[in-house]
Amino acid sequence: MAILSQSEAQAILTKVLSFSKADECEASLSGNIGGNVRTARNTISTSGANDNVSLAVESRFGKRSGVATCNQFDDATLRNCVQRAEEIARLAPESPEYMPLLGPQQYVAAPDSFSQRTAAINPDYRATQVAAGMQLCDQQKLSSAAFLEDSAGFRAVRNSKGLQAYQQRSGITYSVTVRTPDGTGSGYATADYNDASKLDTTALTATAAKKAAMSREAKAIEPGKYTVIMEPAALVANTDASLLAALMGALDARNADEGRSFLSKKGGGNKKGEKLFDERVTIYSDPTNPEIADLTFSGDGRPHQKTTWIEKGVVKNLYTSRYWAQKAGIPDIPRPNGWIMEGGTQSLEDMIKGTAKGILVTRLWYIRPVDPQTLLYTGLTRDGTFYIENGKIKHPVKNFRFNESPIIMLNNLEAIGKPVRMGGNLVPPLKIRDFTFTSLSDAV
């Protein structure tokens, strides 16, 4: 029963609301079916499947709120879930940040965020998909480790103030690391889509295999400031923290207003409206973009709309909770799902061609905050780092540790390439000057 239709879902939610005795009540249903398979050493290691629908009920008495959840849908369980939410609410302390539930909302026309092809995936499909990559590596005497994960489902919301929302979505992600048998070369590739039919595991494995073979016998070059070309997977990761996601994650209005953000201003207030980045930097979100289609409503029911976060280097908008928007008297904008960094038309290959001296970075890893004041992060290059000279990849280089801030990075912009989907965002490769590498690593 994991993917309920709009009428099935709203029928359950209507029934739930009819059981409520609270001042306000909101009910939401989420359901997903999906699975995963994992390989290493060119063979399957583990796999799994899941199928679940759950209901969350939030009940409110005045400024007291309680949430209860359940995953059975007979009348007795639903009634009990509502009662539990009401019990928890009665015992909860009053929230000084209480905001009444939202009434009916206008959502932008739902994009095609759901693919029947993804929803129809079975264990055989997953095994076949990863087998293609394993075969390729067997033939080339390379060792692959990969992960394929898919899910398809829906989310539906309804509350006592008349808000109603429903949308289906699906996603598939594949990543693969290919290593040479002697452990001296390693390459990586990853992609994610709503629609499984866009996924080509063989092509991705071939890219990783090529990088693994190319990265053997890496030369050590001195750490220091270098011009780098960052592939999209080096800027945004779907498995780890990343430099651009760190920047987008720091656009919170409250932290900025409270003085604990890189966007806080000396003496008070925030830096909205200030030019903090190179003028070619424009980042916006658009839930209707078909390449990264996602939910058009946020967790608290607010609509996701096309929003410009950074325009020509100027911070245009900050996201906020409903409470802080009201208190600070600022636009009420939820945190976006995916976002889009505007790019150019150059491919990665074009960018390499136009580089006299530089370093190509496939992927960054173990990225952790060092100083929230400056958004300084540290981490390392991984799985394919190459020296570029006179427009060509000259030789692989040993991996580096970096200490760098995305704010400094986006001021030292040399070129922007054509955006591709990465972790649900559209991310261009970037060419950056004076990127700070602070030490060498022997890791392959």
Partner 1 sequence: MKRRDFVGLTGLAAGSLLLPSIPGFGSGLLVPAERLLEPGMDVAMKKRLADVALNAATSAGASYADVRIGRYLNQGIFTREKQVQNIASSESQGVGVRVIANGTWGFASTNQITDEGIAKAAQLAVAIAKANSKVQKEPVKLVPQKGYGVVSWKTPITQNAFEVPIAQKVDLLMETNAKALAGGASFVNSALFQVNEQKYFASTDGSYIDQDVHRIWPTFTVTAIDRASGKFRSRPAMSASMGLGYEYLTPSAKEKIAGPAGSDVIGYKQRYDILEDVTNATKQVKQKLTAKSVTPGKYDLVLDPHHLGLTIHESVGHPLELDRVLGYEANYAGTSFADLAWKAKNIPYGSKAVNIVADKLQPGSLGAVGYDDEGVKTGQWNLIEQGKLVDYQKIRDQAHMVGQDHSDGCCYAQSWQDVQFQRMPNVSLQPGKAKLSVDDMVRGVDKGIYIAGNGSFSIDQQRYNFQFGGIVFYAIEKGKITGMLEDVAYQANTQEFWNSCAASCDESDYRLVGFFNDGKGQPSQSSAVSHGSATTRFNGVNVINTARKIG
Ranges within 114-133 binding partner 1 (CB under 8 A): 123-124, 127-128, 130-131
Of the two residues 260 and 357, which places its CB atom closer to partner 1 in the complex? Answer: 260
Q: Which of 6, 17, 54, 330 binds partner 1 (CB under 8 A)?
A: 54
- Check binding of 16 to partner 1 (CB under 8 A): no
Q: Which of 354, 403, 413, 433 binds partner 1 (CB under 8 A)?
A: 403
399-404 and 430-441: which strand pairing?
antiparallel
Amino acid at 261: S
Of the two residues 96 and 329, which places its CB atom closer to partner 1 in the complex? Answer: 96
340-341 and 283-285: which strand pairing?
antiparallel
Number of residues that bind partner 1 (CB under 8 A): 100
- Check binding of 395 to partner 1 (CB under 8 A): no
Rounded to the nearest 5 degrees, what angle is found at the Cα of 19, between the Cα atoms of 18 and 23?
85
Q: Among 83, 94, 72, which residue's Cα sits nearest to residue 22?
A: 83
Q: Looking only at residues 191 through 230 of this chain, which bind partner 1 when binding is defined by CB under 8 A? A: none
Q: Looking only at residues 315 through 344 of this chain, which bind partner 1 when binding is defined by CB under 8 A? A: 320-321, 324, 335
Q: Which of 370, 395, 433, 434 binds partner 1 (CB under 8 A)?
A: 370
- Check binding of 40 to partner 1 (CB under 8 A): yes
Q: Among 108-116, 164-172, 280-288, 433-441, which window interacts with partner 1 (CB under 8 A)?
A: 433-441
Whole-angstrom distance, CA of residue 84 vs CA of residue 87: 5
Nearest-approach distance from CB 137 to partner 1, in angstroms: 12
Nearest-approach distance from CB 368 to partner 1, in angstroms: 5
Q: Which of 22, 33, 367, 422 binds partner 1 (CB under 8 A)?
A: 367
Phi, psi angle pair for 144, to nearest 5°: -115, 150
417 CB-near residues (< 8 Å, 6+ apart): 343, 344, 346, 347, 348, 350, 351, 428, 429, 430, 431
CB-CB neighbours of 398 under 10 Å: 17
Q: Which of 16, 27, 121, 134 binds partner 1 (CB under 8 A)?
A: 134
Q: Which of 15, 17, 23, 38 binds partner 1 (CB under 8 A)?
A: 38
Q: Which of 12, 176, 283, 430 binds partner 1 (CB under 8 A)?
A: 176
Q: Which of 60, 169, 302, 382 binds partner 1 (CB under 8 A)?
A: 382
Q: Which of 17, 328, 330, 440 binds partner 1 (CB under 8 A)?
A: 440
Q: DSSP string spanning 393-436?
A: EEEEB-EEEEEE-HHHHTTSEEEE---EEETTEEE--EEEEEEE
Whole-angstrom distance, CA of residue 301 vs CA of residue 102: 7
Helix (H) or strand (E) holding 64, with range, is strand 64-70
